[in-house]
Amino acid sequence: MCLAIPAAVTKILPDEMAVVSIDGVSKEISIALIEDLAVGDYVIIHVGYALTKIDPEEARRTLDLLRELSAE
């Protein structure tokens, strides 16, 4: 039950809510736990709440490192 999924923010709504898209499916979620969210950001969703923003820079760095490690 701790499974959570990445989703893209498509619309910020009033009352700390937002619409996200998960593989094209829209869902309304709470963003009360996150600061400074913008349309286009990716968040991790769990039980209807965004838990955190995904850091695209860090994601890229991890992928680069994975490629490096696998090529060693």
Partner 1 sequence: MKYVDEFRDKEIALGLAKAIRAEVDLARPYRFMEFCGGHTHTVSRYGLEDMLPNNVRMIHGPGCPVCVLPAGRIDMAIHLAMRPEVILCVYGDLMRVPGSQGASLLKAKARGADVRMVYSTIDAIRIAEENPAREVVFFAIGFETTTPPTAIMIRLAEKKHLSNFSVFCNHVLTPPAMQNILESSDIRNIGGVEIDGFIGPAHVSVIIGTTPYEFIAEEFGKPIVITGFEPLDMMQAILMLVRQVNEHRHEVENQYRRAVIRDGNLRAKEEVSTVFELRDRFEWRGLGRVPYGGLRLKPAYTKYDAELRFGMRELCVADDPACECGAILRGIKKPVDCKLFGTVCTPVTPMGSCMVSSEGACAAHWTYGRFRDHQQRPVS
Residues making contact with partner 1 (CB under 8 A) = 1-6, 8, 29-30, 32-35, 42, 44, 46-49, 51-52, 54-56, 58-63, 65-67, 69-72
Alpha helices of the chain — where are they, by DSSP H? 56-71
- Closer by beta carbon to partner 1, 25 or else 71: 71
Q: If phi over 0 gives left and psi between -120 and 50 gives alpha, with beta otherwise, what is residue 15?
A: left
Minimum distance from CB of 50 to partner 1 (Å)?
10
Minimum distance from CB of 4 to partner 1 (Å)?
5
Phi/psi of residue 5, nearest 5 degrees: -130, 150
